[in-house]
Structures are given as C-alpha cells and as structure tokens.
Amino acid sequence: MLVTPYQNEPIETFSSQAALSDMQAALRAVRASFDKIYPMVIGGKKVMSRETLRSVNPSSPTQVVGSAAKATREDADAALDAAWSAFGSWSRWKQEDRSRVMLKAAQIMRQRKRELEAWLVYEIGKNFIEASAEVAEMIDFTEYYARQALKHVGALSALNAYPGEENESFYIPLGAGLTIAPWNFPMALMTGMTVGAIVVGNTVVAKPAEDTVVSLAHVFDIFEEAGLPPGVVNYLPGVGREVAAYLVEHPRTRFINFTGSLATGKWINQAAAKVGEGQRWIKRVFLELGGKDAILVDETADLDAAAAAAVQSAFGYQGQKCSACSRLVLVDSVYDAVLERVVERTRKLTVQAADQNPDLGPLCNSAQDAKVREYLAIGKNEGALLVGGKRLEADGYFVEPTVFGDIAPRARVAQEEVFGPVLSAIKVRDFSQGLAVVNDTLYGLTGAVFTRDRARIEQARAEFHVGNLYFNRKCTGALAGVQPFGGFNLSGTDTKTGGPDYLLQFLQMKAVAERF
C-alpha cells in the first residue's frame, strides 16, 4: 500500500479568526440538528426501540442534544449474532483491504473534524481545543492501527528452522467481542478500542457510555460511509449494567475491550472469568481504568514551568481525564513558591458554557456533579482550601477549579480518584520521600517529574511506577504512535493503546509444522 508516513493529526488551537469562525459555523449546524433520535445499528440495519436514552448538554441540562435507541438484552443477542455472522467473511478479507477501509474512515473524520468537535462541545462539555485534541486522537488511532495491522500479516520470520520439517507461525483473529467505552473521551477511546480489534479481522458489539450516544452515532456513520461491511461493528447504545453486563457474561463473547472506572473493571474481570454454558474459550479481557496521577517538583526545577504544567494537567477538561494531575507533590523548600504560582494561574481560569470556549466547561453529568461536590467537602476537612471550592450558581454542572494545600499523602483526596477539577498539594521533605509518596496509591497510570538534576531523572525513570512517565512537562496528552498509553497496578492491564504491540492482543498465533 502506498500511503504517506504516519503523522499525528495537528490539534487546532483556535488562535486564528478563520478557525474560530469555522467552529462557530459547526456549532450552529450541530445545534440545528439537536433532538434527533439515533437508532442502534445491528448487522447494518438501523433498529429503533420502544424506550430511548436522552442525551443532554451538561452546560445547560434542559437542552436535549439528541436521543438514541435503548438496547434490550434481545438486541444485545442480535448484535452478537450479527458480529459472529460478519466474522466469517471479514476475518478472511486481505489485510490491505481492511486497512484501506480504516484509512478511508480517518480521511472522512478529517473532512468532518469541526462538526465532530462541535458534538463533543455540546454533548460532554469540552472546550474547543479539548474537542480538537480528542478528534485528532481518534484520527490518529484509526490511521495508526490501519498501518500497524499491515505488519502482522504472513508467517513470522523470527523463528528457527528444524530439520525435516517446514514450520510456520502466523496470526489469526479471535472472533466477536465487546468494546465498552467511558464518556470522557467517547470518540477517541471507543474508536481506538474498536478499530484495534476490527482492523485485524475481529468483529465487535460497541457499547458507548450513556452520556455520549449521539457523538458515537456520528462516528459509526463514518465507518459505514467508508465501506465497512454490515455486522463488523454493531452499535449498541444502552445501559451498561443491563446490556453490557449481559454481554460480558455471555458465553459467545470472545473478548472484552473496556475503558472505564476501577469498580466496573473489577466486576468485568471477575464476571468474564466464569466459563458459561457452552462456552468454548477463556475470554480475553483488556481493562484501562482510573488514575491518581501525580506531578513531583523538586528544588532544582523550573518552578514557573512546573506550575503551568500542574494547572494544565489538573484542570484541562475539568480534570475529567484518567491522566489528570490530582496530586501535586512538592519538596518543602519550593512548596510555597510553586503553590503561589499555581493559585495565581488557577484564579485566572474561566468557567463557562462549553460553546463559549472557556478554560473549563461543565462537569459531564449530574452524578459527576454530586461526586465532585462531595470531594470538595472532604478536601475542606482534610486540608486548606487555597482557591476555588464552590459550585457555580447555574443550571449547568459548573465547579470552580480547586486547589487544596497541606494534604496528607494518605488523605482521601490524595488517594481516591475524584475525576474533577480538584488538585491536592502534598509537602515532602526531599526528592526521595517525594518518590515514595507518588508511588503510594492503588493506581499507576501517569506521572510527571520537574527537576534539573540528571541523577534524579534517572532514579525516577527506574522507580516512579507508572505506565506513562513524563519529565519537565504535563502528565496528560499522550500521542498515539509516540507515547503508547496504559497503566500499571489497578490502573489496568497496561494495553498500551497507540503502541506497536496493541493489535497483537486481538490476535492469536497459530504454529504449523509439516514433516517432509
């Protein structure tokens, strides 16, 4: 295949008037198509249901962005059947042809970028640059996996010959599986998890988060337009505990590719381990879960850069990223100086409706709103409120970016994932104690260190136990094909999305020996 070399899709900063005008036009166009009802897609057929799932604008929750069919268990059975029927032929497509469909889909996404971003602004409250970063990541996953898949074709060359035999080993796909996505990066994560599985010949039932059923309906339309055959992806909007849980336990589900909370991930891991009636395999389970990510700053660091990175990592998309910085661990001698800068920067952040392109938009839904409010109260008891701390008087789920100081390393706000704009500052004696503190959580997803000391960089490289470690930069924003992403410990099974080995997880190796 003659394709240009892989490059990360540029993220629009909206600093030009032209980009802003395009975005305003896209927002108007999207607003004009609010309130539609989107069907499930099962075996290529659009299927409506008696009940629907309503998706609202978190900046103004009385505004309905759209509704989607609400799948039942019968629909889930039909979707899994459709995925297995499609598997027979899709798994035999030439790899080049499967990759070509994905490359075509990526190109359509590029052409519809502003519109896709606008859906994210209205459905989950992203500001423009966060929306652009997500659509760019979705395009990256689609492109990157399409190209990586071409490397897994044919017999492996790295094996030894054996006298008197012809030996060859090659990869084949697994079958029909389930992809389950969270709401915070609905397009990028659902697309990444799905494309990773299907590009190498599997088929899936895709279950979006309840809050993002509209955004994903538009994404799966693109795959259909790109020429994906019916049944390769079956779009199943529904309630997680009902249809997704049912399919997790289903004896015909071959694999589960999940991104979401630790609580759901633990349940899935256990449920999928049981071998059901008639089941012929051990299910493969991939889990990408939560984080309690830290930035550690020592006395040699560039304190302005550290403060800027902490604020960006803590409050980008309202802190609702698995990679968000929620612990700022500061060596005693620079504690006050860094916090002063962090507080000053935080005070300047704007909180507004997402379509006004503020620094922070709303939290995603009422459950998030309630959870973050609870942690604001907990933080006030566990430390000193330095800035923020309040929910705004508005219909939307707006919370001030909040920084707590004097938080103990084992305090609840220092240990539990808040998933909101709440940053806890922890004072440590020195760098070594700082390393011990950053590692002292159940999680191990991302982390960053600000230091100019080469020996400490090397110490942290070896000892800071996270899947994604950054020096002298923010701890969010991993790029596909550049920083493979996935966590240690209870942050998940370290699938390393956007990495060169990702696709192997959806393949099995067949070793064939013929005696001559």
Q: How far is the CB of 170 from ligand NAD (least distance, A)?
A: 30
Q: How far is the CB of 189 from ligand NAD (least distance, A)?
A: 6
Q: How far is the CB of 400 from ligand NAD (least distance, A)?
A: 21
Has 168 been annotated as catalytic?
no
Q: Based on CB atoms, which residue is closest to ligand NAD, 371 or 473? A: 371
Has 288 been annotated as catalytic?
yes
Residues whose CB is less than 8 angstroms from the CB of residue 63 and which lie 6 or more positions away in sequence, other chains included: 34, 56, 57
Q: How far is the CB of 223 from ligand NAD (least distance, A)?
A: 19
Q: Which of 115, 322, 325, 382 is catalytic?
A: 322
Q: Based on CB atoms, which residue is closest to ligand NAD, 285 or 339? A: 285
Q: How far is the CB of 515 from ligand NAD (least distance, A)?
A: 46
Q: Which of 9, 137, 288, 417 is catalytic?
A: 288
| Site for ligand NAD, rule CB under 6 A | 180-185, 189, 207, 209-210, 240-241, 244-245, 248, 259-261, 264, 267-268, 288-291, 322, 417, 419, 445, 487, 491-492
| Measured distance CA(338)–CA(368) in Å, rounded | 29
With 0-12 CB in 10 A as exposed, 13-18 as middle and 19+ as buried, what is 302? middle
| Measured distance CA(479)–CA(458) in Å, rounded | 23
Q: Based on CB atoms, which residue is closest to ligand NAD, 30 or 244? A: 244
Helix (H/G/I), strand (E/B), else coil: 117: helix
Q: Based on CB atoms, which residue is closest to ligand NAD, 11 or 108? A: 11
Q: What share of the chain is helix, strand, coil (3-state, %, to 5)?
A: 45, 20, 35
Q: Based on CB atoms, which residue is closest to ligand NAD, 260 or 421? A: 260
Q: Based on CB atoms, which residue is closest to ligand NAD, 82 or 124? A: 124
187, 120 Cβ separation under 8 angstroms: yes
Q: What angle do CA 476, 472, 192 make, to 5 degrees?
A: 25
Helix (H/G/I), strand (E/B), else coil: 425: strand
Q: How far is the CB of 399 from ligand NAD (least distance, A)?
A: 16
Q: Based on CB atoms, which residue is closest to ligand NAD, 78 or 244? A: 244
Q: What is the residue-wise DSSP string for 195-241?
A: HHHHTTT-EEEEE--GGGHHHHHHHHHHHHHHTPPTTSEEE----II
The token pair that represents 142 in the structure block: 């689609």
Q: Based on CB atoms, which residue is closest to ligand NAD, 264 or 318? A: 264
Q: Considering only CA atoms, which of 55, 20, 53, 49 is closest in space to residue 34?
A: 55
Pairing of strands 233-235, 203-207: parallel
Residues whose CB is less than 8 angstroms from the CB of residue 376 and which lie 6 or more positions away in sequence, other chains included: 389, 390, 391, 399, 402, 422
Cα separation values, 449 from 193, 219, 338, 412, 472, Å: 29, 36, 14, 23, 6
Q: How far is the CB of 14 from ligand NAD (least distance, A)?
A: 24
| Measured distance CA(413)–CA(442) in Å, rounded | 13
The 10 Å Cβ neighbour count of residue 380 is 14
Q: How far is the CB of 427 from ligand NAD (least distance, A)?
A: 26
266, 491 Cβ separation under 8 angstroms: no
438-461 per-residue burial string, b: 16 or more CB within 10 A, e: under 16: bbebebbbbbbbbbeeeebeebbe
The token pair that represents 345 in the structure block: 């920067």
Q: Which residue's CB comes closest to ligand NAD?
A: 240
Catalytic residues: 288, 322
